[in-house]
Every structure is written in structure tokens, then in C-alpha cells.
Amino acid sequence: MKFRTGLILGLGVGFILGTKAGRERYDQMKAALDSVRSNEKVQQATAVADRSTARVRRAAGSGLITASEKIKERAEGNGSATNL
């Protein structure tokens, strides 16, 4: 019960402080984020990170496909999915 009360109180305070900051502060934060995103070094680092993780993402995706196919085969062979 104490957790729920604290959570509700925290959300309320956050909401009030957020609304007081208003649209002007939001626009300032968005402009700062946009300037960081448009920075050439940030774009280069993002490209390097994308390239370095592409092979891992492909391998993980194919691993998930293989695993799901094996599960389906086993389920069909046993007549139900409960005997995995």
C-alpha cells in the first residue's frame, strides 16, 4: 500500500513539474537533441555501430527462426506442444 501511494504521489509531482516546464522547455530540449543528431561525428559513430551489429542481428534472427522450426517439428511429432 505504501508503494502504491508513493508511486501515485511521484507521478503526480512529475506531471505537475513537467507541465510547469511547458512547451518552451520541450522545444529547447528537442533543439538540443536535433543538434546532436545532426553532428557529423555522431552520425559516423551511429553508422559504425549499425555496421558492427548487423551480422549479430542477422545471426540472432536466423537462430530464432531455426529454434521455432525445431519447436514446431517436435510439437507435430508428439501430437501436442505440451511435451516439449
The secondary structure of 17-78 as a DSSP string is HHHHHHHHHHHHHHHHHHHHHT-HHHHHHHHHHHHHHHHHHHHHHHHHHHHHHHHHHHHHHH
Same domain for 4 and 24: yes
Q: What is the pLDDT of residue 79?
A: 57
pLDDT band at 80 (very low <50, low <70, confident <90, very high): low
Which pLDDT score, from 0 to 100, does residue 82 have? 55
Residue 44: predicted pLDDT: 92
pLDDT for position 52: 85
In a domain, 84, yes or no: no
17 located within any domain? yes
Whether residue 27 has pLDDT greater than 80: yes
The verdict on 66 and 54 lying in the same domain is yes
Q: How many domains does the chain have?
A: 2
What pTM, to 2 d.p., does this model score? 0.42
The domain containing residue 23 runs over which residues?
1-36
